[in-house]
Structure 1
Amino acid sequence: MRQISFLLFFVSFLVSCSSSVSYQKPENAKPTKQWGVIEVKETAKSMSHSLSVYYKTELKNGYLEWKAIENSTSEHIDTKLISNEILNQLTKDKVPFVDTTIRGDATKEMAFGKTGMVSSDSRLAVGKFKSPSHQIKGEINEVVNYESGNKIQYITVTLFLVSLETNQIVWSEQTNFLKRSRVEGYGF
């Protein structure tokens, strides 16, 4: 009897401690107090479309390089997530990018290929690197005000496309969010 009681207690403990997880489509996300799915999706959608159109109608050639987005807000924002979403969409739209951060690894592999220890059919060819003609950089900024127990947050996400040859900003786009959320414990 004691074993049965212990078993029932143990099973009920496991059931009460288990958590349920559900998934939903990102398009159905609801607003949150923190930076979330809605802001990431809206930013990626507007930025990638605008830049893709600019590239195809104005630039028409050259390679772009991505620089990290700077987060100057009080929130923890995963800027790499935004960058990856935008970069993924631009790549699907056939906007060409180069990743200069892997040049060191590629150079080492090319040097190793010249030792004769790599078969000629898989050896990396020298002189095929592409240089970026433009660099994309970005910033996330905010202004926060408190009014009647509400936090009012104006967030701007700005991307710039800069010509590396002239240092001229040739394109920029901004996505804005105005968030109002109730502050718990405001005014007691």
Structure 2
Amino acid sequence: METAAAPGQRAPERADRRADAEGPRLPHPAQRRGQRPLSVGQHAESLIAPPTAHLFVKDHHVNTRKTSFSSLGAAAAAALLLSACATVSPTVGSGNVTYGDAKAVEQVTNQFGSTDLQMIAETMARSLAQSYAGAQTKPLVTIADVKNKTSEFIDTRSITDSIRTQLLKSGTFRFATDIDGMKNQTDELARQNQSGLYKKQGSAKMGKMQGAQYRIEGNITSIVKRNADLTDVYYKFSLMMTDIESGTIDWADEKEIRKTTRR
């Protein structure tokens, strides 16, 4: 007949059976590091207290990564800038640059080009100079805008600049300040007369400007036709000179240009 064991003897057996049922347990972190096991209160504090040291290390790694990304971004931007400068900078002695005749016929495309500009300017200047070749005095002229009525961009100011240059070289016309240059003209007069910086003797006087007798203006139009085989482009440049006082048109001329491109 078995006798009842003392309570102190059965406790180890029950603890052993419970340990076998629950399986093996990992040792406490303090025991793994060879330290004394924590008490219940110390273990609870370790669970509640935030791992500040680990957070600091983590934040340090994040800040380090951010700094690294910023440094990499700055380095990449600098490298891109240097490569752009290297691309734009001219190459000395490359041998790829050649000069051509500015008056040569340009046939790269059927759009308005340098040859068209030169032909128009020469035709208009020659026609106008011949009309006033026998005049006793040089007419005073101003140039207004030439309207671009085509479907492409054309710098009409460049055309009128060339016409004015050729007429001045011919010695048959004088030119007054046009609308675009009037602001610079009036600003200069005001600077000499109202700033107090210049002597009155020798300075340009207000109210001495000469008004133009004639105004030159015009327009450029185009007609474009296409089919399966070719593209035909037609330009017409019209120019006229008007007497400002009377409002009469004293001269007019036009230049026609046709270009054909076959596929």
TM-score range, shorter chain: 0.7 to 0.9
CA deviation vs aligned residue, 1:67-100 (integer Å, no higher than 9, x gap): 1111111122111211111111111112101014
118-127 or 39-48, larger mean C-alpha shift: 118-127
Tell me, which stretches of 5 or more residues in structure 1 are unaligned?
A: 1-13, 184-188
Give the equivalent residue in structure 1 for 2:231.
151
CA RMSD of aligned residues (A): 2.4
> CA distance change for structure 1 residues 72 and 125 in 2, over 3 Å: closer, same or farther?
same
Choose which of 121, 131, 156 in structure 2 pairs with 1:79: 156
Alignment of 1:33-182 (within 5 A): 33-57=110-134, 60-94=137-171, 95-101=173-179, 102-115=181-194, 116-182=196-262
Q: How high is the TM-score relative to the length of structure 2? A: 0.57
Amino acid at match of 1:170: D
| In 2: Cα distance, 1:51 partner to 1:178 partner | 23
- 1:29 equivalent in structure 2: 105
- 1:105 Cα offset (Å): 4.2
In the alignment, residue 153 of structure 1 is paired with which amino acid?
Answer: V
What CA distance in whole angstroms lies between the structure 1 residues aligned with 2:161 and 2:122? Answer: 12
Higher helix residue share:
2
CA distance in 2, matches of 1:103, 1:33: 36
Q: Do the aligned partners of 2:144 and 2:178 also contact (CA within 8 Å) in 1?
A: no
Structure 2 CA distance for partners of 1:59 and 1:78, relative to 1, 3 Å: farther
Consecutive unaligned residues of structure 2, counting only runs of 5 or more, are 1-86
Deviation of the 1:40 alpha carbon: 0.8
Change in CA separation of 1:112 and 1:141 when aligned onto 2, cut-off 3 Å: closer
Q: 1:35 to 1:133 in 2, by over 3 A?
A: same
Cross-structure match for 2:58: none
The number of equivalent residue pairs is: 167
Identity level (%) = 25
Per the alignment, do residues 129 and 34 of structure 1 end up closer, same or farther by CA in structure 2, a change over 3 Å counting?
same
Match of 1:11 in 2: none
